[in-house]
Amino acid sequence: MTGSTAAMLPNTTDNPAMGPGSAGYGWAKRTLIGYVEQMALHLAPRFMRVNAVHPTNVNTHLLHNDGLYGMFRPDLEHPTREDVEPAFTTFQAMPIPYVEPVDISNMVLFLASDEARFITGQQIRVDAGSLLKFPQGPAGGRAARSCQELRGKRSIVRAFVSVIFTTSSSGTSARTSVARLRLLGQFESLCGKSISSMMRSTPTS
C-alpha cells in the first residue's frame, strides 16, 4: 500500500491552518498505518504480507500544479517550478526538493520480491530523511525553534508581514489574497502566537 510521510507527522490532521483538504488527506493516509498492521497480522498465517510505503514529495502532477505552487509562493502571481523548489527542499533532510516515482517503485519491487519474504506489517519511509528533520511535525522541533528566534526580532516579523500583504500596482487576485491569508494563518499556528502579539512582545532589533 502507498501511504505518505504526512500520515506519520504529528500536527498535520488537527492544525486548522492546513485546511480541510490537507487534513482529510492526512487522516486517510494515517488510517492506512493501522490498517496495514491489522491486515498483516490476520494474513500472516497464510504467508501473505502487507506493508506500506510512505513517500515524501514525489515528482508528479500531484506536486506540480498551480494550486500547490500558489500555496508555497503566495507572494507571486504565477509561481513556477523554479520558484517553489527551494521551499520543497526544506522538507527533506537530504537537500532535494522531491524524490522520483522510480524511487517508490524500487521499494515496492523489493517488498514484492523473495528477498523481502519475511517483511510484513512495516511502515517504510522513502522520504530523504523528512521525518527525521521534523519529528514533531510542522508545529514543533526545528520549526518551533525558528519561531522562538523570530519572536526576538520584530524587524523580521514586520518584514514577513510586508511580504504577505504587499500588492503590486495592478492588485492581486482572489486566489493570491486567500493564499496570503492562509500563509499568515500557518505562521501564527506554527508559532502559537498572533502576528500582532509578536509585534508587541518583541524588541525592535
Q: Which of 188, 62, 87, 27 is nearest to 10 (CA)?
A: 27
pLDDT, residue 96, reads 94
Q: Which CATH architecture has domain 5-133?
A: 3-Layer(aba) Sandwich (3.40)
pLDDT-derived band at 137 (thresholds 50, 70, 90) equals low
Answer whether 156's CB lies under 8 Å from 202's CB.
no
For the chain, the structural domain boundaries read 5-133, 141-201
pLDDT-derived band at 82 (thresholds 50, 70, 90) equals very high
Which of 25, 35, 69, 98 is an active site residue?
Answer: 25
Spatial neighbors of 5 by CB under 8 A, at least 6 apart, are: 54, 55, 56, 125, 127, 130, 131
Please write the tens of the pLDDT for every residue from 156-183: 444 444 444 443 334 444 444 444 444 5
Look at 103 and 90; give whichever has higher pLDDT: 103
Query: Would residue 25 show up in a list of annotated catalytic residues for this protein?
Result: yes
Cα separation, 179 vs 73, whole angstroms: 8
